[in-house]
């Protein structure tokens, strides 16, 4: 009995540790978590539960649109768009035909198409696809937004590389996600919680600097917490863990200093 308990604890601990930053999904548990997470999103969207759970994030979406600095003619891409909630916060002056939304879950895409149609966007531009292999040519978009999706995409380094590939010169990428700051340590308890959240919705222990990779032409120019801006019970509980980040190509903006992914390193951008 003691031997069996010890063995189970050992296996659990090794999987918890192995799943951290397993972007290539080498472990059996990571691959299983991916499959279950996909089913989870199909279910959450088909039942309409997702929009209800995530309602309190609207102020952060509005803030993300501000950070994108949207111009009337901008070509915009939402990656991992889910059910289309970002259509609701796009400013009036943008060109609706220039907005694209991509998601891996077919049920999420169906929901996004419904919202797009209702709000006058092109439903044909809500597409099913993989953020790790975007179905677009180079340099197509001025502004790209990852709304709560970088923690759910299996290999976020690949996804950021793809976003950079399709980004036009002088473009901007904004990320809204639960992130671990540079130099912050991740407790064992948080690793355990992450073991379960990865099966349901996302990896909650990702760090932006690590996901971006040291070879990336992108640099972080803004990084802030959503603390105090999310609403609703769920939003209020989780708001200290979410971050809004802006990335640009270093070559496009040589005069702007690259910043670390740490709240205390950043002047708050209003």
The whole-angstrom separation of Cα 179 and Cα 224 is 11
Q: Are 136 and 101 in contact (CB under 8 A)?
A: no
Closest to ligand SAM by CB, 81 vs 219, is 81
Closest to ligand SAM by CB, 25 vs 252, is 25
The whole-angstrom separation of Cα 148 and Cα 130 is 15
CB of 210 to ligand SAM, least distance (A): 18
CB of 12 to ligand SAM, least distance (A): 25
Closest to ligand SAM by CB, 85 vs 220, is 85
Closest to ligand SAM by CB, 178 vs 219, is 178
The whole-angstrom separation of Cα 182 and Cα 54 is 26
Closest to ligand SAM by CB, 13 vs 21, is 21
CB of 91 to ligand SAM, least distance (A): 18
Q: At what angle do helices 188-200 and 2-19 cross, to 10 degrees?
A: 80
- In the chain, at which residue ranges do the beta strands (DSSP E only) sit? 76-79, 99-103, 126-128, 141-147, 167-178, 218-225, 242-249
- Contacts to ligand SAM by CB under 6 A: 41, 54, 80-82, 85, 102-105, 108, 130-132, 147-149, 152-153, 201-202
CB of 250 to ligand SAM, least distance (A): 26
CB of 6 to ligand SAM, least distance (A): 36
């Amino acid at each position: 009995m003691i031997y069996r308990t010890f063995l189970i604890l050992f296996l659990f601990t090794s999987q918890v540790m192995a799943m951290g930053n397993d972007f290539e999904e080498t472990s059996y548990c990571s691959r299983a978590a991916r499959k279950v997470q996909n089913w989870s999103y199909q279910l959450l969207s088909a039942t309409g539960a997702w929009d209800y759970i995530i309602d309190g994030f609207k102020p952060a979406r509005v803030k993300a649109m501000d950070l994108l600095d949207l111009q009337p003619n901008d070509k915009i891409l939402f990656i991992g768009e889910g059910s289309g909630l970002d259509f609701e916060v796009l400013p009036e002056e943008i060109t609706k035909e220039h907005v694209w939304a991509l998601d891996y879950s077919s049920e999420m895409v169906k929901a996004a198409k419904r919202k797009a149609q209702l709000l006058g966007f092109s439903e044909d531009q809500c597409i099913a696809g993989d953020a790790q292999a975007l179905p677009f040519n180079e340099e197509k978009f001025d502004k790209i937004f990852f709304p709560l999706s970088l923690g759910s995409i299996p290999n976020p380094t690949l996804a950021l590389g793809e976003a950079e590939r399709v980004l036009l010169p002088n473009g901007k990428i904004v990320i809204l996600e639960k992130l671990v700051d540079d130099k912050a340590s991740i407790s064992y308890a948080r690793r355990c919680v992450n073991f379960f959240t990865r099966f349901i919705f996302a990896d909650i222990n990702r760090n932006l600097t690590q996901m971006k990779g040291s070879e990336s032409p992108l640099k972080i120019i803004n990084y802030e917490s959503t603390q105090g801006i999310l609403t609703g019970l769920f939003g209020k509980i989780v708001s200290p863990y979410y971050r809004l980040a802006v990335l640009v190509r270093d070559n496009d903006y040589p005069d702007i200093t690259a910043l670390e992914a740490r709240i205390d390193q950043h002047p708050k951008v209003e």
